[in-house]
Amino acid sequence: MSLSKIAFIGAGNMAQAIFKGLIAEGMEAQRIIATGTNPERLTALEQATGVVATVDNLAAAQQADTLVLAVKPQMLKNVCEAIKPALAHRPLIISVAAGITTDSLARWLGEDLAIIRAMPNTPSQLGLGATGLFANRLASASDKALADAILGAVGKVEWLADESRINAVTAVCGSGPAYFYRVMEAMINEGIRMGLTPEAARTLTLQTALGAASLATQSDVDVAELRRRVTSPKGTTEQALLSFERDDIDGLFSRAMQACAARGEALAQELGK
Ligand SMILES: NC(=O)c1ccc[n+]([C@@H]2O[C@H](COP(=O)([O-])OP(=O)(O)OC[C@H]3O[C@@H](n4cnc5c(N)ncnc54)[C@H](OP(=O)(O)O)[C@@H]3O)[C@@H](O)[C@H]2O)c1
């Protein structure tokens, strides 16, 4: 990866997932700068990972040729306006903040910058992330290749031709891990009510989720076919699935994902001014 120095503005969960992935891929930790507001946490991070950690966003931005914005969306406008004077060298900007559009970022940082928006998710910590990417019109093919390599270091990436589709990506994979955790919680709880020990209910549920996802990713047939293959006519699984249909499982997920995407849109309106 032709990346001389990368700075993460905000070194929380998502930033750490990404830069730990880059280090695992062979990038020297010394070429990574990570910023935050808590000096003790930054020292601990520096010792644990070898990255250069600092409270100085301006200095970090000045030194980097790629800047990953990874603070909470509510803080992003202030952080961007504060680092704007350090961007005369026009680094590539990659933002992982939910809801904030490339137009808002350009207004806060400078209209002449290449900006790429990324919507990753937390399994990136294990290299199993799923990320949607959108590039503004100033991003070159090599900027896009760089963003692809950075986010690709922690999982799979999909490019979007239209920025509004980021809300769909948020609904599918940004927030998606929480949906699966909620399903697992429900299965664990019902397993316990049906007489399993909590340990057994947890182990069997999690292993089933892992096995099902692994089988689906490694199989050359689609998930509907995999479902049909475990659903014998008049069998036990069929009864569970008929119960899901009576409870309108498609409608349930449709309403949840629409609500998630609508919140992404509302955040963009609220915080992008
Ligand atoms: N977590 C997810 O699943 C997920 C998925 C997709 C996108 N995202 C996006 O990723 C971004 C970060 O989320 P997160 O979950 O990683 O949050 P997080 O763990 O709270 O990380 C945010 C970090 O920002 C730092 N920070 C706060 N104010 C700062 C400032 N003025 N200058 C520099 N750093 C500052 C904080 O460091 P201190 O504690 O030292 O202040 C904190 O470590 C958000 O915009 C979110 O929308 C998250």
Low-confidence ranges of the chain (pLDDT < 70): 1-3
**Which of 55, 58, 72 most suits a substitution to test ligand 1, by most atoms within 8 Å of the C-beta?**
72
Hey, what are 128's tokens?
């199993």
DSSP string, 234-261: TSHHHHHHHHHHHTTHHHHHHHHHHHHH
What is the distance between the alpha carbons of residues 68 and 143, in angstroms, rounded to a whole number?
13
pLDDT of residue 219: 96
**Which of 8, 9, 13 most suits a substitution to test ligand 1, by most atoms within 8 Å of the C-beta?**
13
pLDDT of residue 85: 96
Do residues 100 and 73 make contact, with C-beta atoms less than 8 angstroms apart? yes
pLDDT of residue 259: 97
Distance 199 CA to ligand 1 centre (A): 33
pLDDT of residue 273: 81
Do residues 144 and 159 make contact, with C-beta atoms less than 8 angstroms apart? yes
pLDDT of residue 3: 63
Distance 93 CA to ligand 1 centre (A): 16
Distance 161 CA to ligand 1 centre (A): 26
Distance 212 CA to ligand 1 centre (A): 31
Buried b (16+ CB within 10 A) or exposed e, 11-29: beebbbbbbbbbbeeebee
Ligand 1 lining (C-beta closer than 6 Å)? 9-15, 35-38, 41, 57, 70-73, 75, 79, 96-98, 119-122, 174
pLDDT of residue 185: 98
pLDDT of residue 57: 97
Phi-psi category of 170—alpha, beta or left, where left has phi over 0 and alpha has psi -120 to 50? Answer: alpha
Atom of ligand 1 nearest to the CA of 73: 45
Distance 227 CA to ligand 1 centre (A): 38
The closest residue, in CA terms, to atom 31 on ligand 1 is 79
Distance 143 CA to ligand 1 centre (A): 23
Atom of ligand 1 nearest to the CA of 14: 16
pLDDT of residue 2: 54
Residue 117 β-bridge partners:
95, 134
Express each pLDDT in 33-84 by its tens digit: 999 999 999 999 999 999 999 999 999 999 999 999 999 999 999 999 999 9
Place of tokens 């963003």: 147
